[in-house]
Amino acid sequence: MRNHGARGPVVELVDVVRRYAGGSGTPALAGVTVAFAAGTFNAVMGPSGSGKSTLLQCAAGLDRPDGGQVRLAGQELGTLREPKLTQARRRRVGFVFQSYNLMESLSVWQNVLLPQRLAGTRPDRAWAREVLHRVGLAGREDDRPGQLSGGQRQRVALARALAARPEVIFADEPTGALDLGAGREVLALLREAVDDLRTAVVMVTHDPAAAAWADRVVFLADGRVVSELAQPTVETVAARMTAVTAA
Ligand SMILES: Nc1ncnc2c1ncn2[C@@H]1O[C@H](COP(=O)(O)OP(=O)(O)OP(=O)(O)O)[C@@H](O)[C@H]1O
């Protein structure tokens, strides 16, 4: 596609509107235009209810907007019907959630390979092994998630995302359930995915210290992008959050 070169955005939202049935009248997304490029780490922040999770769901093709366009690797998602939409998502997108979303009955290894099995592609075992090594879980392949700490579980979730070589990883509060040290490990691994693999990362967070790992912070309020910050630090993020919340 024309606009998906090395410098083109992996994910592009143009004037995206999402209105929930029975909502209070204010749309969850009220016309959001934003793009996320390969090899960039983006944080999305904003007050509770500002539309962060809805933005992630629409950008990932998990939810359909009521207006506007979402392009993933240059492909307009609104034009895709199932199962093409699911295929596009499986091929290009990785997810990391606050609650890990691992299959408890499967081993670490089976969890990491599951998305590729579901996609019907032949799992790249050598890369999966490399990825487990990268996240510090080599040797834990046969463990069940129940035998792991929260930080280790989240690193399995990250390995699962990376194993499919996604162009973009969407992370919804990936450090929300972790202590400081485990959270830092996960953030460092997301950073590595951006710097070494040129993955785009889009991470929703409430934590200025987590956002400071990003290259850029996008601030939402009332379903709109109200501010942006490049090269964020804990201090500049905290100050901007205060300003956005007070406005
Ligand atoms: N499934 C739904 N049905 C109806 N309204 C919803 C639904 N999901 C979200 N909303 C509403 O849409 C708005 C945006 O919600 P969203 O979860 O995207 O915000 P958020 O910024 O992620 O919030 P938080 O930080 O609390 O997770 C809120 O007003 C919320 O109540």
Query: pLDDT tens digits, residue range 165-189?
Result: 999 999 999 999 889 999 999 999 9
What CATH code is carried by the domain that includes residue 108?
Answer: 3.40.50.300
Q: Give the position of tokens 């956005």.
A: 244
Q: Could you tell me if residue 3 is inside a domain?
A: no
89 C-beta neighbours (distance < 10 Å), count: 20
Rounded to 5 degrees, what are φ and ψ at 40?
-130, 145
On whether residue 4 sits in a domain, the answer given is no
Q: How does the average pLDDT of the chain come out, rounded?
A: 92
Q: Is 23 in the pocket of ligand 1 (CB under 6 A)?
A: yes
Predicted pLDDT at 90 = 84
Look at residue 19 and tell me if it is in a domain: yes
Question: In this structure, is residue 1 part of a structural domain?
Answer: no
**Residues of the domain holding 215:** 9-246
Residue 25 clears pLDDT 70, i.e. is over it: yes
- 2 assigned to some structural domain: no
- In the structure, how many helices (H) and strands (E) does the chain have? 8, 10
How far apart CA 152 and CA 169 sit, in angstroms, is 18
Q: Which of 19, 32, 52 should be mutated for ligand 1, with most atoms under 8 A from CB?
A: 52
Q: For ligand 1, what atom is nearest to the CA of residue 50?
A: 21
pTM: 0.93
Strands 75-76 and 29-37: unpaired
User: How much is the ipTM here?
Assistant: 0.96
Mean pLDDT of 68-74: 94
Residue in this structure with the two tokens 């629409």, named with its chain if needed: 58
Per the structure, the count of domains in the chain is 1
Are 210 and 190 in contact by the 8 Å Cβ rule? The answer is no
- Does 129 fall in a domain? yes
**Domain-located, residue 38:** yes
Enclosing H/E stretch for 150: helix 150-163
Is any ligand 1 atom within 6 A of the Cβ of residue 53? Answer: yes
Contact 57 CB / ligand 1 (< 6 Å): no
pLDDT per position as a tens digit, 153-168:
999 999 999 999 999 9
